[in-house]
Amino acid sequence: MISVNNILEKCIFFSICLATFDGLNIYNIGLFQRGYVIPTVIGIILYFFTIKNKKIYLNKTIKCFVLFVVYSICISIFNINNIMGVEFKNQTAENNLIATVRLLLLILCMLLYYTEILIKKERLIEWIYRGIKYSFYVVAIISFIQIFAMMGIEIAQNIQFIIEPYINVQISQLEQMNVDLTDREITRVHGVSQEASSFGNYLMIVFPWLCLGAVYFDKSLISKAFCIFAVIFAILSYSRIAYGCMFLEIVILIFLSNKIRKYIFSFKFMLFFIIFLGCIIFYIDIETIQENFISVITSFFISDGAYESSNLTRLGLQYTAFDMFLSKPLIGFGLGQFQFNAVEYIPEWAYFSAEIRRFANAGDPTTFIGTFNTHIRVLVESGIVGGILWFYIAWHGLKNYLIVLKYIEKDKKLIIKCIIISYIFSFLSFINFDDYIIFYYWFLIVLSETLLYKVKKS
C-alpha cells in the first residue's frame, strides 16, 4: 500500500520534472500554467490534511520569510487608502494585492511542505538530479525538434506547430485572437518554455546539475552529451541571460574541478561539440546565426541593433521602479502596486520604447508589464525593510551551503560547490522577470536548510 509520505514525495519529484514548463495551456488559472504548481498544490493539500501526524520544521528561512510576508502585508494595509478603488487597464489594485498575497502564501506552504519531505529523503541530491535529468530528456527532444524546424525540415515544423499550442499559452491565445500563425518561423530555441529568455533562466540553473551528474552520478555518455546540448541550446536561444550566465558558469566550473575539466570540457568532447554545432550551422542559414550571435554579444556593450528596444524597455521600467522606491523608501506602495503607480514616474527618454508607450496608454489593455526585476519590485512594494528581509533570506541560504561545504566529506565538496553555483544563478534569474515565485530558487533555499539539518544531525 502506498503511504502518504510516498505520495507527498512523488508530488515533489513531479514538480522538479515539470518545473521547466512555464506556459501550459490551462486557461483562466494563470498560476497553473506553470507545470510544477499542479503536483505541488496536490501535495500541499495532502500535507495539511495530514499535518497532525507530522513534525513542522520552522527553520530560520521559514521564520524570516513569514516576517517578510507579514511586514509586506502591514505595508499594504498602511497604503490601503491609495489601493482601494484604483483601476488601470481593466484591472483593480486590490485584486492585484490579493493575488500577490496568495502567491506569497503559496510559497510559504511550499517551504513548509518541501522541508518536511526533503529532510526525510535518503540519497536526496541524487534523487533531485534524477528529476532534473528526466525533465531535460523532454527539453532536449523538443529543443532538437525546434532546431530541425529552424533547418527547414517540414516534418519538424509540423510537429512543433502541433505541440506548441499545448505547452505555450501565448501561441494558443494568439490563435484565439484569429492571428494567422500558419507561416510563422521558428527562429530561436526555447525548449518547453514560453520564451527564449525564460529558457535561458532554466538552462543556467540546471547546467551545474547536469555537469554534476556527468562527473559524479551517471558518468554516462548521454549525461556528458546533455552538458554539450545545454550549451548548444543556449547559443541557439539567442538569450542574453543564457549567454552571459552560461559563459560565467563554464569558466567557474572549469577552474573549480579537474573532474569537470577532464570529463566534460576535455579535448574529445569539445571536438564533438564543435563538429555537432558545425553540422547544425551548415543546415541553418549561417549568416542568420552569425548575425543573431553578434547581436546578442554586442547588446551587452552597446544599445544598438535588434535588442535596443528590449534594453530600453527593461532599463526604463527598472529606472521607473527605482525612482518610485526613492520617493517612498520606508513605506513602499504595497504588494502588487507597481503598475498602478508607475506612469507618473516613467522618465521621458523611456517613451522611445514602443512597449512602454503601450504600457502608459490606459486605453491599451494588452500591455500590463512589471519591473523586469523582482529585487527592485520588492523595494517598490515593501520599502527598504522589506528589501533587507528579502536579501537576507537569499544570504541565509548561501550561508547554509557554505556551512555544509565546510563540514561535509572531502569527496562530496564538489557536489555542494555545483549546487551553490546553481543557487546563486537562480537568485540572479530574478533580474530577468518580475515574479516572486521562481521554483528553483525556493527549492534550493529549502535544500540549503535540509542539508544543514542533516549535517548538524550527523
Quick check: 226 and 210 in contact, CB under 8 A?
yes
92: helix, coil or strand?
Answer: strand
In angstroms, the first-to-last Cα distance of the chain is 31
Q: Is 164 exposed, middle or buried (0-12, 13-18, 19+ CB in 10 A)?
A: buried
- How many DSSP H helices and E strands does the chain contain? 19, 2
Mean pLDDT of all residues in the chain?
A: 86
* Residues 458, 453: Cα–Cα separation, whole Å: 9
Which residue, among 255, 128, 130, 245, has the nearest Cα to 197 in the 3D structure?
A: 245
**Per-residue model confidence (pLDDT) at position 307:** 63
Quick check: 276 and 232 in contact, CB under 8 A?
yes
| Residue 180, pLDDT above cutoff 70 | no
Quick check: 423 and 401 in contact, CB under 8 A?
yes
| Residue 306, pLDDT above cutoff 60 | no
pLDDT tier at 12, thresholds 50, 70, 90: very high
Task: Quote the cell numbers at residue 41.
Answer: 498544490
- What's the rounded mean pLDDT across residues 98-119? 94
| Residue 421, pLDDT above cutoff 90 | yes
What percent of the chain stands above pLDDT 90? Answer: 47
**Per-residue model confidence (pLDDT) at position 50:** 86
Quick check: 446 and 115 in contact, CB under 8 A?
yes
Q: What is the DSSP letter of 87?
A: E
**Per-residue model confidence (pLDDT) at position 138:** 95
pLDDT tier at 183, thresholds 50, 70, 90: low
The residues, any chain, with a CB within 8 Å of residue 116's CB and separated by 6 or more, are 47, 54, 55, 56, 57
pLDDT (tens digit per residue) in 328-387: 999 999 999 999 998 899 998 888 888 888 888 888 777 888 888 999 999 999 999 999
Quick check: 199 and 193 in contact, CB under 8 A?
yes
pLDDT tier at 16, thresholds 50, 70, 90: very high
Radius of gyration of the chain (CA): 22
Displacement of CA 368 from its chain's centroid (Å): 20
pLDDT tier at 304, thresholds 50, 70, 90: low
* Residues 457, 154: Cα–Cα separation, whole Å: 57
Which residue, among 231, 237, 240, has the nearest Cα to 273 in the 3D structure?
A: 231
| Residue 202, pLDDT above cutoff 80 | yes
* Residues 148, 152: Cα–Cα separation, whole Å: 7
- What's the rounded mean pLDDT across residues 210-237? 88
**Per-residue model confidence (pLDDT) at position 441:** 96
